Amino acid sequence: MAETIWINAKLYTGQRVIAGGRMIVTEEGTIRAVGDELLPVPAHARVRDCEGTTMLPGFIDVHVHGGNGFSMMDGTFESLDGMSRYHAGHGTTAFLATTTTASEERIVQALRNAAAHIGKTSGAELAGIHLEGPYLDEKRRGAQDREHLKLPTAAEIEEWCAAADGHIRLVTIAPEIEGGMAAVSQLAGKRITVSAGHSNATYEQIEAAMRAGVSHTTHHFNGMSPLHHREPGLAGAGLLLGGLTTELICDGIHVHPAAVKLMFEMKNPEKICLITDAVGPAGLPDGEYGEVVVASGQITLKHGSSLAGSSLTMLQALKNALRFTGYPLEKLLPSLTSVPARQARLDRQRGTLAPGKQADFLLLTPGLELLSTYVKGKEVYRAGSSA
């Protein structure tokens, strides 16, 4: 089978940076070898010259509801595929389609639809599901629908998992609500990553939740008990407890740039997971879209001032993090690649450019403008193309 060798890249593998980097990709779309100019060109291989452009592992977004007018909760393949193409155009190569709090019927339909189309999208690859709600604390619900918040039961959790056909990889829950700790244990027992979010938990309750199986926090600082000097809350726990990986919406709106820098100073990038939390209207012009309003990149509920998701992309999140922290690219890169892969248990296939992994990668200018996005070695986005 013909292979492709990519040459002359500034190649960020995820562990090191290789000037004049080379990568061999099989016909099946997996990486066979990564190295420098000493890596030989295989006989009969197609040679692709990167001409000094930057090659990065593709970004993995574990918390994304939609984009460009498409939403996971639409419950259709068209919407999943539309959001996959939109986010591929901004550096995402794999994502977890994320639910919102809604009726049981809508959630089940969204789960079944996503499960039926795992790996079938034409842009970024739909790699699993993130169940956000309905087991949330009303005090910290944010834009989540109050009417459909509920307490967890073991039977209903089994129903969600069956509807998703085993593809739920991340669940957001408020562990302090009635039945919350038992739900955490049940989900963790299924090897699902459990995230504390939309939660009013105390610091001590989060410590207990970690013992039950919580290892992640949802859009840190947002929708949670804040840091106070007499009650550190979930916000303080996420900063201090090494067993928690913290999601971060790095748009400068949900979290102040100084708080972004604080988080990176307190936690290693290996414990921070950059996300978009993008919703259906992300990428659309300013205006009203159903119950939300888009204005200057900010998305809020039409009735009230609550933020209702974001219009962020993963590439912009990276650029913002570089600016807010002053860190070099190679230090921040895990927060968009290997960390989300680990948290979603996708790290055997994705997250770094290494032999045996999928050839999910990006080509960018030195100024980090996206040129192309590749999934399994296949180009799914090219700058300037209308396809």
Active site residues: 277
Cα(360)–Cα(127) distance, integer angstroms: 13
Alpha carbon of residue 220 to chain centroid:
13
Cα(387)–Cα(380) distance, integer angstroms: 9
In contact, 248 and 274? CB cutoff 8 Å? yes
In contact, 58 and 350? CB cutoff 8 Å? yes
In contact, 8 and 51? CB cutoff 8 Å? yes
CA dihedral 349, 239, 321, 376 (to 10 degrees): 10
